[in-house]
Chains A and B, each alone.
Chain A
Amino acid sequence: DAGVIQSPRHEVTEMGQEVTLRCKPISGHDYLFWYRQTMMRGLELLIYFNNNVPIDDSGMPEDRFSAKMPNASFSTLKIQPSEPRDSAVYFCASSGSWDRYGYTFGSGTRLTVV
């Protein structure tokens, strides 16, 4: 298995533009998570899905952020419009169980909003 695949690896965009981050979880994993990592705030859970259904989106900063999981093999995180304070590394992770296995993380997308 190729692991959790995220794209793009790096994204530089201008303030106000729409940004879409993509994630392909490990096949067979029922849980998918989006995290954001910054020096100031550490790792923050944004949203997670179970069987493609959003379970907890309380970590989504504001309405500018949205996430979808149209099928078991694909998820997107969209920021519209983007702001400089959204600059961070965004990680996607998947897991086959909440109680038996850890999470497998992707390599992350480093987003810079100028």
Chain B
Amino acid sequence: SQQGEEDPQALSIQEGENATMNCSYKTSINNLQWYRQNSGRGLVHLILIRSNEREKHSGRLRVTLDTSKKSSSLLITASRAADTASYFCATVRAYSGAGSYQLTFGKGTKLSVIP
């Protein structure tokens, strides 16, 4: 089942602009991850943010997490044509038993950066 829901489904911006994608989820989580997928390729991990963290940065990426609202956002600053891809959030929730956890992906946001 899909836990994370990205918004918007598609986003088109000019090169140099910032891109913001949002993710909402339904149950409590242990961590939330963002991935990028270029057309026809596998997913690439971008950032992992734990439930006790509020913000994380990696290069031009900034991720925020608001557990009270069950939402996260991914900001890409100064976008480039090479950022064109689909972006997915994935939530991780541990449940009973050692090594038992659930990771579910949203359906993604398709970002197009126009040169």
Selected contact of B92 from candidates A30, A99, A104, A107, CB within 8 Å: A99
Is the CB of B45 closer than 8 A to any CB of chain A?
yes
In whole angstroms, what is the CA distance A99 to B94 when docked?
A: 9
Cβ < 8 Å to A, chain B residues 64-110: 88, 92, 94, 97, 99-108
Identify whether the interface residues of B are mostly helix, strand, loop, or mixed: strand
- The answer to whether A43 touches B33 (Cβ under 8 A) is no
How far apart sit A107 and B38, CA to CA, in the bound complex (Å)? 11
Chain A, residue nearest B43 (CB):
A105
Instruction: Identify A99's interface contact among B31, B41, B102, CB under 8 A.
Output: B31
Q: How far is the CA of A103 from the CA of B104 in the complex (A)?
A: 12
Which of A13-21, A50-58, A61-69, A76-84 lies at the interface with chain B? A50-58
Chain A residues packing against B (C-beta within 8 Å): 4, 30-31, 33, 35, 42-43, 45, 50-51, 55-56, 91, 93, 98-108
